[in-house]
Amino acid sequence: MTITNSLTRLAIVIDDIADIILSYDQLLLYRSVNGVSGTYAELTASSAVGATLKGVRREAFSLNGKPFIVDIDGTQESFTFGAVITAADAAVEITANTSVTAVDDGGYVRITSPTTGTASTLEFTSASTGAVALGFYQGDNDHGEEDREALAGGTKLYTINDYQGSSNYWYKTRYYNTSTLSYSDYSSAFQGREEGSLDPSYIIYGTGYLTDLDGTPVTNTKVFFYNKFVPKIVNNKLMAGMRQEYTTDSKGYVYVPLIKGSTVSMAIENTRFQRDITVPSTGDTFDLMTTDIQDAIGIVEYDIPDATRTTI
């Protein structure tokens, strides 16, 4: 992947948190840069770590007078090597002249960003002769990982930032037990909120479950939300979108981000259910199917076309 330096916010709603924390205590986040069916790599770690790169060339080196150029957390830094030939001496010069920490790793040079998390980046955007001599090539890059989220009873909403996100990337989560070292299954794939979207403080998440006649989950079913065009301006932004759709997961569960205090209409695929919702103005989550919100679930009645008439 390339370094994007583009913030994507991942909001994960765990509606059944009371049950989940009986078996797990951490939330893990994974990302695919190759589409919804791509390979998912973890963006979180047991503790936040910085970007790290290791050169692929082993000492001895010929570095005297050669420039070393590297982008560190999005800022380019450079210097020119003196007369050094060992990995240890090269690491000392890199550490002294840039903001990275460099070490001798078995005769190879390894560098680490001074920051942690996905905002922590290292990238070689040019083929400087000093970097190439150490085995760092143009296009080499890495970013750090965020802390895994600790689960807490009563907390349904968890937000993780991916500072190397993209509108094309997909994400999954799963849970982890730090005592038994056991993992849950992966969640369904989802996408995040891009930089420029409303701040998460303006958003509340509607949640709900769909079941069949016998109580089994209604999966892979679309739930639609339509703008009722009751004027809503938040942070100088007018809510003017027409429609959003979301899909129930393997448990028949769906959660949707909605602007606090807005008015929307909800419909469910393959049914005639419809509900006008006045979205709550406070809190992190609310139940889409509850009877506590303003508008009851109703049935859309369609007009029946006039039957064919015959004049006698």
Q: Residue type at 276?
A: D
Q: Count the domains in the chain.
A: 3
Residues 85 and 117 in one domain: yes
Q: Contact at 8 Å (CB) between 91 and 109?
A: yes
In this structure, the answer to whether residues 36 and 153 fall within a common structural domain is yes
Among 162, 197, 232, which residue terminates a domain?
A: 197
Where a domain ends, among 143, 176, 210?
143
CA dihedral 262, 263, 267, 272 (to 10 degrees): 160
Let me know whether 44 and 58 are in one domain.
Answer: no
What's the rounded Cα separation, in Å, for the pair 102 and 92? 7
**Statement to judge: residues 157 and 136 lie in one domain:** no
Whether residues 121 and 138 share a domain: the answer is yes
What the block records as the tokens of 194 is: 């891009």
* Residue finishing a domain among 197, 213, 234: 197
Residue-by-residue pLDDT tens, the chain, 312 positions = 678 888 898 989 998 899 999 999 999 999 999 999 999 999 999 999 999 999 999 999 999 999 999 999 999 999 999 999 999 999 999 999 999 999 999 999 999 999 999 999 999 999 999 999 999 999 999 999 999 999 999 899 999 999 999 889 999 999 999 999 999 999 989 988 876 778 888 999 999 999 999 999 999 999 999 999 988 999 899 999 999 999 999 899 998 999 999 999 999 999 988 889 999 999 999 999 875 555 555 655 545 454 444 444
User: Domain check: are 179 and 30 in the same one?
Assistant: yes
Q: Are 67 and 96 in the same domain?
A: yes
**Which pLDDT score is estimated for 308?**
46
Q: What CATH code is carried by the domain that includes residue 215? A: 2.60.40.10
> Do 18 and 162 share a domain, yes or no?
yes
> Who's near 36: CB < 8 A, 6+ residues apart?
170, 189
Q: pTM for this one?
A: 0.78
What is the pLDDT at residue 158? 94
CA distance 154 to 83: 60
Residues 237 and 268 in one domain: yes
Structural domain of 64 = 52-143
Q: Are residues 132 and 37 in the same domain?
A: no
Whether residue 67 sits in one domain with residue 32: no
Q: Are both 63 and 192 inside the same structural domain?
A: no
Per-residue confidence (pLDDT) for residue 298, from 0 to 100? 60
Please check whether residue 14 is in contact with residue 156, taking contact to mean a CB–CB distance below 8 angstroms.
yes
Q: How many helices (H) and strands (E) does the chain have?
A: 3, 27
